[in-house]
Structure 1
Amino acid sequence: MQTKRKIAVVASVVAGLAAPAVAVAPAAGAQAAPAWQAYHNATPAQSVMHVKTLKSRGYRPITVNVSDGEHYAAVWVKGSSSGWGIWQGMSSREFQHQFDAGMREGAQPVSVSATGPADAPLFTAIWERKSTKFLTKHGLTPAQFGAYNKEAAAQGLALSSVDAYGTPGDIRYVGVWTPNPGGTWKYTYGMSRERHKEEFYAKKSQGYRPVKVAVAPDGTYAAVWRKDGRKSWAHYIDMSAAGYQKRFNALKKRGLHPVQVNAENGKYTAIWE
């Protein structure tokens, strides 16, 4: 396991509370959540400290996000895997270098996030040692992102990690596609706050729920929707860092923990199970 260090001085992003646009929070069922830990709005140095501490206590990361200059969010669960690594503060070139190194070692990215303009993005990612088929692409324009989703679906792959970065006039996507674990999945992207809300209720009525959501620099949303029958879950968007913490505390009391956290421009979106 390695954590790439990068020195940066950035201001904390703390906005006023905002009412989430979308939420579903049924009472927690019989599904037992694993022991977990989560953090957000962490500086690079704080993130490194979290990684060292949580690794020493037997946790492993399942999702990671970088946003707003270089602030990190992640969720960790108790337990080991066949081998994993987490890197932060990577340029596009460094991300490609780590990707190539991972391929030689039989590891593949499972959660990738980026922030910053298309010509100078900053990446963070989790790798795990796996032998399954996968596809990873970054720097994708909206049209390219849509095309790769169709190509991946034709190969039996499903979008399992997504993030949007760039600038309002030049949105880019990074995605990871892995074998479909079963069930029907769909994706949306470039959705305004209201369009995402409409999609949420339309998909929910069809038995789908969001399993991955990313907010772009222009305030639009990309999402992966899956029909998996899970009854106990929650999804909120348009939260400040403080608003996310408030929902985090409330849902923890109901037995739900975050499984994906994403942010950009001080706005958080998250999914709990």
Structure 2
Amino acid sequence: MKKYIIAGVATVAAAGVAVPVAASQTGGHSAKSAAPVAATAAAAKGTPFVEYHGKTAAYHVGQYKKLSKSGYRLVSLNVSDRAHPKYAAVWLKKSGPAFTEVIGQSRAKFQKTFDGLRKKGYQPTVVTATGPSASALYSGVFEKKGGKFFSWGDLSAAKLASYNKYAASHGYIPVSIDAYGTAKSPRYLGVWAANPRKVKWSVSLAKSFSAHDKLFKAQVKKGYRTSYVVVGTGNTYSAIWRNDKVGAWAERTGLTSAQLTAYVNKGRTQGAHPIQIAGGGNVYAGIWTK
């Protein structure tokens, strides 16, 4: 069995950036009580989207069959709770390259599927896993497109740091990350894509809510935004930070399912839509934009 999920560093393609680029960054929030950024008149209708969380694999597969045929694209996918896998997803109605997904596979099977999709010209844009290293379930979204990328799984925090260091020195940027494993042995997986615009970035791991919130405020002051946020063991938060500019955005962490649903519904009335949702235990986190 291969220890890592891998695509060749020098030869294969780039994962899609999770957050669309716009003219300027206008704000963001980490606190539980944060309100969505006010919608402009032009953005009032917003992008059509479908969001759900805490759903079974069967439910998600049913939605995939329906929505993928109705002009929607799967832009966010997350799996949590190894004993009773729960899926969270965000679909946006927009055009783009051909895409497919992989749901609930063992590490060995996911590696085999990964390799097969690479041969067909697909590359991962989202990777997610749940459970201890030896019995983790892997899922992901793959798009058919070109460009350099690399992807690894089953990483310790130290090993992830080494790949981040490699990425920074070789012109890559992380575009997807997830935290899984156990409290004694946390694991990580991710996708790194070519970074031709040389966007500055960093990654934070396993922060408590208060520590993540403190870091969030400091990062925003320095011109950074959260481009990806996930929930790990012990209700901790790991995130990707970037200093490129986007339109109005918001991050929310420490949400119950009911709070997440309320924010999704409120955002819809203001022309805002989620672009990434992640869960862990009974806690959720996400990022919104317009």
Taking structure 2 as the reference length, what is the TM-score of the superposition? 0.83
1:84 to 1:78, Cα distance in 2 relative to 1, 3 A: same
Aligned equivalent of 2:152: 137
Find the partner of 1:57 among 70, 77, 84: 70
Amino acid at match of 1:239: L
Structure 1 position 127, deviation (Å): 0.5
CA contact (8 A) 1:63 1:75 kept: yes
Find the partner of 1:218 among 224, 230, 234: 234
Amino acid at match of 1:171: P
1:22 to 1:140, Cα distance in 2 relative to 1, 3 A: farther
1:118 to 1:226, Cα distance in 2 relative to 1, 3 A: same
In the alignment, the residues of structure 2 paired with residue 189 and residue 21 of structure 1 have an alpha-carbon distance, to the nearest angstrom, of: 20
Amino acid at match of 2:174: L
Which structure carries more relative contact order (alpha carbon 8 Å, separation 6+)? 2
Aligned equivalent of 1:7: none
Structure 1 position 23, deviation (Å): 3.8
CA deviation profile, 1:242-261 (whole Å, cap 9, x unmatched):
11101111122111100000
CA contact (8 A) 1:215 1:222 kept: yes
In the TM superposition, what are the counterparts of 1:138-217 in structure 2 within 5 Å?
138-180=153-195, 182=197, 183-217=199-233
In the alignment, the residues of structure 2 paired with residue 49 and residue 117 of structure 1 have an alpha-carbon distance, to the nearest angstrom, of: 27
In the alignment, the residues of structure 2 paired with residue 52 and residue 92 of structure 1 have an alpha-carbon distance, to the nearest angstrom, of: 24
CA contact (8 A) 1:22 1:237 kept: no
Structure 1 position 35, deviation (Å): 2.4
Identify unmatched segments of 5+ residues in structure 2.
Answer: 1-29
Aligned equivalent of 2:131: 116
In the alignment, the residues of structure 2 paired with residue 108 and residue 63 of structure 1 have an alpha-carbon distance, to the nearest angstrom, of: 15
- Report percent identity of matched pairs: 36
Q: Which moved more, 1:178-187 or 1:88-97?
A: 178-187
Structure 1 position 170, deviation (Å): 0.8
Which secondary structure does the structure 1 equivalent of 2:284 belong to? strand
CA deviation profile, 1:217-272 (whole Å, cap 9, x unmatched):
12221111112222411111011111110111112211110000011111100000
In the alignment, the residues of structure 1 paired with residue 250 and residue 140 of structure 2 have an alpha-carbon distance, to the nearest angstrom, of: 24
Taking structure 1 as the reference length, what is the TM-score of the superposition? 0.88
In the alignment, the residues of structure 2 paired with residue 20 and residue 211 of structure 1 have an alpha-carbon distance, to the nearest angstrom, of: 16
Structure 1 position 50, deviation (Å): 0.6
1:100 to 1:116, Cα distance in 2 relative to 1, 3 A: same
Aligned equivalent of 1:270: 286
Q: Which moved more, 1:198-207 or 1:180-189?
A: 180-189
Aligned positions, number: 255
CA contact (8 A) 1:24 1:235 kept: no
CA contact (8 A) 1:20 1:239 kept: no
In the TM superposition, what are the counterparts of 1:31-42 in structure 2 within 5 Å?
33-42=46-55
In the alignment, the residues of structure 1 paired with residue 175 and residue 92 of structure 2 have an alpha-carbon distance, to the nearest angstrom, of: 18
Q: Which moved more, 1:53-62 or 1:120-129?
A: 53-62
Aligned equivalent of 1:89: 104
- Is 1:249 aligned with 2:260? no
Find the partner of 2:86 among 71, 80, 83: 71
In the alignment, the residues of structure 2 paired with residue 218 and residue 96 of structure 1 have an alpha-carbon distance, to the nearest angstrom, of: 28
